[in-house]
């Protein structure tokens, strides 16, 4: 007989009061099983008029304060976040038949945090952050390649490429985190953690 947790869910949901702990356990399993990019997530934002947009980004850090990704602040998502910091993340780990949805509010990370991550990136990626005006219309591929070369000349010391002001990270401070497991005949298992005003997480089962 399959083991269940105290709510009658598959044992992979464990019995934790803290959703970050459960996220960490599931993420560790995804890192072992997913062929590539277990840290890839769909990021949903919306303009101030409520027009939604979604795209993939990579999770580059998480702890009890939230979930961090990095990007160009002047990109479409960057501009949307300036107008409306509410956002949502969705991980889908096909190898585990699991999904996690996280909703909350985004805050830009500190310069120190952004510098630390930026400086850990490969030289070409750091140059790319300078050369790409992410999400703006490009006249030609060649013009981008030329700009890349120009920045390589400007910052030819690989140890000293400053982080552009237009490039940083965002931390999603969650107000809810939902864990989903594929079930037979689409009778999936869903566990939602919601953050109350008292800063305490409560758990609810959701209908599939």
Active site positions, annotated: 186
Is 21 among the residues that bind ligand FMN (CB under 6 A)? no
Residues β-bridged to residue 90: 42, 101
Quick one: residue 19, left, alpha or beta (phi over 0 = left, psi -120 to 50 = alpha)?
Answer: alpha
Place of tokens 């947790």: 5
Indicate which single residue of 12, 14, 55, 173 sits in contact with ligand FMN (rule: CB under 6 A): 55
Could you say whether residue 77 binds ligand FMN (CB under 6 A)? Answer: yes
Contact 44/89 with Cβ under 8 angstroms? Answer: yes
Binds ligand FMN (CB under 6 A): choice among 69, 91, 170, 193: 69
* The residue to which tokens 């050369």 are assigned: 131
Task: Kindly write out the interface string for residues 107-136 of this chain, putting x where it contacts ligand FMN by CB under 6 A and - elsewhere.
Answer: ---------------------------xx-
Question: Residue 76: what are its φ and ψ, rounded to 5°?
Answer: -55, -50
- Interface region with ligand FMN, contact rule CB under 6 A, candidates 18-26, 75-83, 87-95, 115-123: 75-83
Q: Which is nearer to ligand FMN, 10 or 134 (CB)?
A: 134
Nearer to ligand FMN among residue 4 and residue 82 (C-beta): 82
Assess contact for 173 and 65: CB atoms under 8 A: yes
Which among 8-16, 53-61, 181-189, 195-203 is the span making contact with ligand FMN, rule CB under 6 A?
53-61
Residue 100 Cβ vs ligand FMN, minimum distance, rounded to whole Å:
16
Helices 141-154 and 123-131 cross at an angle (nearest 10°) of 120
| Tokens encoding 26 | 């599931």
* Least gap, CB of 87 to ligand FMN (angstroms): 12
Q: Helices marked H in the chain — which ranges?
A: 19-33, 76-83, 111-120, 123-131, 141-154
CA dist., res. 106 & res. 170, Å (int): 6
Q: Stretches 12-20, 69-77, 84-92, 189-197: which one binds ligand FMN (CB under 6 A)?
A: 69-77
Among 7, 53, 97, 138, binds ligand FMN (CB under 6 A): 53
Which spans of this chain sit near ligand FMN (rule: CB under 6 A)?
37, 40, 53, 55-58, 69-72, 75-77, 134-135
């Amino acid at each position: 007989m399959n083991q269940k947790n105290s709510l009658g869910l598959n044992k992979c949901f464990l019995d934790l009061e803290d959703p970050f702990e459960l996220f960490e356990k599931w993420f560790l399993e995804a890192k072992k099983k997913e062929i590539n990019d277990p840290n890839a997530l769909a990021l949903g934002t919306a303009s101030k008029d409520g027009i939604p947009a979604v795209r993939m980004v990579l999770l580059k850090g998480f702890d009890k304060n939230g979930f961090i990704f990095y990007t160009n602040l002047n990109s479409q998502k960057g501009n949307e976040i300036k107008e409306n910091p509410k956002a949502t993340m969705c991980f889908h780990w096909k190898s585990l038949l699991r999904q996690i949805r996280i909703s909350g509010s985004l805050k830009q990370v500190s310069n120190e945090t952004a510098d630390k991550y930026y400086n850990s990136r490969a030289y070409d990626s750091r140059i790319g952050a300078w050369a790409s005006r992410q999400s703006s219309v490009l006249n030609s591929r060649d013009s981008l390649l030329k700009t890349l070369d120009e920045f390589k000349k400007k910052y030819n010391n690989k140890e000293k490429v400053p982080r552009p002001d237009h490039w940083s990270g965002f931390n999603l401070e969650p107000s809810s985190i939902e864990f989903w497991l594929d079930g037979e005949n689409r009778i999936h298992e869903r566990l939602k953690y919601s953050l109350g005003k008292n800063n305490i997480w409560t758990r609810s089962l959701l209908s599939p």
